[in-house]
Structure 1
Amino acid sequence: MSLISVLARAEAMATGRATPLATARHRHLSDRPLVFVPLTTAGEVGAPLGALVGTDRDEPRLLAVPQPRDRDLRFAFLAELAQVVLPYLESYADDTETEPATRNREKSEVCADAPQIVVANTSAVEYVRLLGRSTRFRRTAEDDPDEPHPVPARVPLLGRWLTHYGERARTPGSALLLSATELLTRHWATGQSNLEDQHLGALLAWVEPPEGMTGIEAARRAESHRGPDGLLVFPPAGPATDPVFDNTVLAPAAARYDAGITGAGEEIARLLAGQMRPTWDAVWRSMDLLRELPEGAHVADRWKRDRWSYTSHRDRVRAGEPPQPRRDDAVSAAQKLAGRETAQVRLEAQEALDDPLVMAGRRLAGEAFAGRVDRVEMAMSEGKVPKPRPLVTVLTQDRPHLDEDAKLYRALPDGRTQQARFVEWAGSGAVLLRVVNGMGRGKVPDPGTVPEEGDEVCWTLFEHAPRGGAGLPEPEDTPWTHGGPPGAAAATVTADTPTAPVAVTESPDLATTEDYL
């Protein structure tokens, strides 16, 4: 946790209201998101109990499983969920635009927009990933007529899409699958712990407490206040349920359903809707609050990466490729890890460049400094072709951690990044640096590329557009010590089973004399 986050939390406790951590919105919000509020059975996370899902905040689609232990009812729930989610996901697939060719990429087609799923908290994000993992390998009656428990035809496809969205959510800055609590905690600091922030009702109580109440009082009420019936006024829907609701209300209703009493199924659906509706409304209210913030300048760039991700998965599905493997091979896992590390560094840099309040945190950490230009002295480099290397003195009250010949970076008005080198401390609060690029190709710097006396500037010690590391070998070129040949053997995917999973056959190590006493 950064120093500015600690200070913001302390201020929230002192004022009784959440403290802003950002002046801009750092995630993309779709004009037509799909909100998904699931509930699971107590003690069995993989057993769905119900869900509210849809794009209309006033008319959500209610899905209910009156008896989660019934396999057929659970599959019917997944089939109904697929009927809602898949048309939404596929509605963006055919609206495309052409990206011009670049030095590293040929002219290509990308979807003009992408579908976005919003859930209540990070536990719901994990549940989306779990649903994908548990359904993408399911066999249908068309795939295998002898399958004892076939699933409806569209369920495996739903699993593939949910898996993709769940995996994409692990990429920092991605907005295909968003958590309302993660969005709010990125932009506001409360006076409670990170674990308590996962209760959406308590989190919203800090962001906008009711009249006459402090954040801590409103959060305590949201977490524990019960009505005359003994049930929570704001159920968690986390997607775990309230134990009191399970024991005193849901269990008797399920017993009536098992006994075949007429109307018991409709009663359970009504009870589940009452548990999920407060969370459903809170998710939409969270998005209302976030839409009031202006979108950060780099948000569109990150959303474009999400659009590419959506387009790539669309192409894999249309090409009939098999589902995602249960486990990544060594190269794929390393590529994902490297990509996420690069995305994290890029996200931190972009958020700081988009938001003065975020940049203030980097300045407090000694990773950037801002100040006024006191003096500019033109100088030239040594060599056969001298180039401009002006010396700039910046007066600052910050205390950046500058090493000898440290690299510094500044964002130019045209979006480019200019680099400089630290020369020395030229006095109390005066930093002397040498600008080394971003001034054009001539002997005279282009107008506006060199700071002038009196300008307010901000230099960072971190790169603005970090690049990934060295490339990785292809799977067939990966050494056996890292999971490559000759030990890897993949199952053959035939034309008759185009959706069959790719399974890796692992042989146990041979027994040796050291294995026996």
Structure 2
Amino acid sequence: MSTLTALARAQALAAGVAQPIATVRHLHLARRPLVLVPLTMAGEANAPLAVLVGTAPERGRLLVVPQPRNRDQRLDFVTAFGTVLLPYLDGHRGVSESVPIDRGRDVRYRYVDAPQVLVPNQAGITFLRLLGRNTRFRRTDGDYPVDASVPLVGRWLTFLAERSEHPGSSLLVAMTDALGLHWATGQSGIEDLSLAAQLGWIDPPPGVTGAVAAAEAEDPSIWPPAGPATDPEFDNDVLTPLMAAYQAAVAADDEPARQRAYATMTRALRGQVEPTWRLMWRGLSLLHRLPPGARVTGRWDADRDAFTDYARHLDEGGQPQARRDGAVAAAQRLHRLERALSSYAVQRAYDDPLVMADHRLTGEAFVGEVTLADPNRVDDTGKRPVLRPRIMLVTTDPVLVQPGTALSSPARPTQKAKVVFVTPTTDGSKTEVVLELSGGMGRGLTAPPGTVPEIGERLCYTTLTDSYVPPGTFPTREETPWTHGGPPLDV
């Protein structure tokens, strides 16, 4: 937790309402997301019990597994789930756009849109990941064949779950994470895992403080858990007798009794998921009120690329994702995630002054006012003269950078600045920073108007940069030791 987030939590507790920790929205919101609220059976490893799924608040479809221990019923559930998920995914594969590559000498194609799946919390993402792992290797022929949609659903769920680990991705999003990225509540991070309590702080009813609203959210009779785990009292007092009645009707081959038991169970489970369903759309409405950050579109483009690539992989008969990565593949994936995390942190700071404020506290950034500017300064000490304007900023922020440090400004991301002098004022309350600018001013020896900061302009400069970093190099399979998945030793 950052210093400013901790401060915002303390202010939320004092004010009785959550405090914003972002001025813009840092994730993409689709025009038609697929909202999914899952439930699993207690005591069974990822055995689906029910799921409420749909693309509109009034069009949720409830799928129920009356006996989650029954393997055939679980597979029937996946088949029914596939009739919702697969058409939704295919609905984003209709139109493609060309994207220039290789400096415009060639083009590639990607879909103009991509799906977005929203679940209540990280446990919901774990549910989808495990469901994908349990189904993507199922066979459609031979012994115990399954419907052709079952392994396809598993492969798509695995893709979405893996993509959710990519920092900044918006294909599969947990609502508690999305809200926590933009608001700080007056409760702990563990308590924020309850969607009802978190929204109680962010959007409390009129005349009610966030603490009171969050306390009311702890009553499972009013706000059942957001899943996938159910409330133990509901399991013992309601669900267990209903499942027993259903089993008895099946054992007695009493179809009317089975239908009555199924209808009663469906009503009970709907009562468990519908409150969370309403919370999901309420949270989505709150997020829509925030304007998107400038760099959200670029990250969504990367999501569309990933969706397009995987769809083509399936169309070309590609194999399912491996049960576990090899040593080199795991290292490459970790490297990609680390690079993406670093880039995501920089992009959020560039988009949002509240996020950048954290870096100002640590000395990685400062904000100052331009007091002097020499826009036409030319450096002729090299082989040829080059335009190198200088500006001086006065700031009250702590400045920990040293002369020679390269800086960037979110307002002018294509322009670089090198620290020339750092001089505290005589009274010590301010610092004067002289910067030498390069880039973003054309190729001539005269700076075009507007390319050099003017006197009176207030700017932020930071050591954070989102410039391109070449990927790391990894050994081929032939160069990998046999202990890490390479070829076996010759004996």
Shorter-chain TM-score bucket reads over 0.9
* Correspondence for 1:515: none
2:286 aligned with 1:317: no
Aligned residue identity for 1:383: G
Cα pair 1:381 1:389 within 8 Å, conserved: no
> CA separation in 1, counterparts of 2:218 and 2:489?
53
What residue number does 1:271 align with? 268
Q: Which of 153, 156, 162 in structure 2 is aligned with 1:161?
A: 156
Distance in structure 2 (CA, Å) of the matches to 1:486 and 1:193: 51
- 2:92 is aligned to 92
Moved over 6 A (4+): none
Cα drift, residue 340 of structure 1: 1.1
2:349 corresponds to 1:352: yes
Q: 1:234 — aligned with what?
A: 223
Counterpart secondary structure, 1:100 = strand
User: Separation in 2 of the partners of 1:479 and 1:106?
Assistant: 38
User: What are the residue-to-residue correspondences of 1:240-389 with 2, within 5 Å?
Assistant: 240-260=229-249, 261-262=257-258, 263-377=260-374, 378-389=377-388
C-alpha contact 2:407 2:419 (8 A) present in aligned 1: yes
Determine the structure 2 residue equivalent to 1:227: none
| Partners of 2:225 and 2:362 in 1: CA distance | 36
**What is the CA distance between 1:400 and its match in structure 2?**
3.1
Distance 2:189 2:370 in 1: 41
In structure 1, the partner of 2:212 is 217
Alignment partner of 2:379: what SS? coil
Q: Which amino acid aligns with 1:267?
A: T
Give the superposition deviation at 1:94. Answer: 2.5
CA 1:363 to 1:301, structure 2 compared with 1: closer, same or farther past 3 Å?
A: same
- Say yes or no: does 1:176 pair with 2:171: yes
1:125, 1:258 → 2: CA distance?
30
Shift of 1:126: 1.1
Secondary structure of 1:313's aligned partner: helix
Report the alpha carbon displacement of residue 168 of structure 1 after superposing the two structures with TM: 0.2
1:347 CA drift (Å): 1.2
5+ long unaligned stretches in structure 2: 250-256, 426-430
Residue-pair matches, total: 476
8 Å contact kept, 2:378–2:385: no
TM-score, normalised by the number of residues in structure 2: 0.93
Quick check: 1:77 aligned with 2:66?
no
User: 2:480 is matched with which residue: 467, 471, 478?
Assistant: 478
> What corresponds to 2:254 in structure 1?
none
- RMSD of the alignment, in Å? 1.8
1:115 Cα deviation from its structure 2 partner: 0.8
Which residue identity is paired with 1:259? A
Please give the per-residue CA displacement for 1:181-212, whole angstroms capped at 9, x wherever unaligned. 01100000001111111111001000011122
The 3 A distance-change label for structure 1 pair 14 and 376 is same
Unaligned runs of 5+ in 1: 225-230, 489-509, 511-517
Partner Cα separation in structure 2 for residue 470 and residue 73 of structure 1:
46
> Does residue 24 of structure 1 match 2:24?
yes
**1:303 to 1:105, Cα distance in 2 relative to 1, 3 A:** farther
User: In the TM superposition, what is the alpha-carbon distance from 1:172 to its structure 2 partner?
Assistant: 0.4
Q: 1:339 to 1:209 in 2, by over 3 A?
A: same
User: Does residue 205 of structure 1 match 2:200?
Assistant: yes
The equivalent of 1:447 in structure 2 is 449
Deviation at 1:223, TM superposition (A): 1.2
Letter in 1 for 2:316: A
Q: What is the aligned partner in structure 1 of residue 397 from structure 2? A: 398
* Kept in 1: contact 2:39–2:228 (CA 8 A): yes
Q: How far does residue 404 in structure 1 lie from its aligned partner after superposition?
A: 3.9
Out of 192, 196, 207, the position equivalent to 2:191 is 196
Q: Which residue in 2 is equivalent to 1:55?
A: 55
- Structure 2 distance, partners of 1:176, 1:192, is 28
Percent identical? 47
1:31-46 equivalences in 2 (<5 Å): 31-46=31-46
What displacement does 1:46 show? 1.5
* Cα shift readout 1:83-128 (whole Å, capped 9, x = no counterpart): 1101111111131111123339841110000011000011101111
Q: Partner residue of 2:428?
A: none
- C-alpha contact (below 8 Å) 2:38/2:48 kept by paired residues: yes
Residue-by-residue CA offset, 1:260-319 (whole Å, 9 max, x unaligned): 044111111111111000111111111100001111111111000000000000000000
Instruction: Check the 8 A contact 2:96/2:112 in 1, yes or no.
Output: yes
C-alpha distance in 2 between matches for 1:330 and 1:175: 28
Secondary structure of 2:280 counterpart: helix
1:102 aligns with 102
Distance in 1 separating the partners of 2:167 and 2:453? 33
**Counterpart contact for 2:415–2:439, Cα < 8 Å:** yes
**Does the Cα contact within 8 Å between 1:3 and 1:365 map onto a contact in 2?**
no
C-alpha contact (below 8 Å) 1:417/1:464 kept by paired residues:
no
Equivalent pair of 1:40/1:47 in contact (CA under 8 Å) = yes
Cα distance change, pair 434–19 in 1 and its aligned pair in 2 (3 A)? same
Does 2:461 match 1:459?
yes
The TM-score, its normalising length taken from structure 1, stands at 0.89
The one-letter code of the counterpart of 1:220 is A
Query: In 2, Cα distance between the equivalents of 1:39 and 1:319?
Result: 34
Q: What CA distance in whole angstroms lies between the structure 2 residues aligned with 1:361 and 1:483?
A: 43
Partner of 1:506: none
1:114 and 1:310 in contact (8 A); partners too: yes
2:181 maps to amino acid: R
* CA distance in structure 2 between the aligned counterparts of 1:71 and 1:155, rounded to whole angstroms: 13
How far 1:336 sits from its partner (Å)? Answer: 1.4
Distance 2:301 2:235 in 1: 43
CA distance in 2, matches of 1:479, 1:380: 52
SS in 1 for 2:166: coil
SS at 1:197 equivalent: helix
For residue 427 of structure 1, report the CA deviation from its aligned partner.
Answer: 3.0
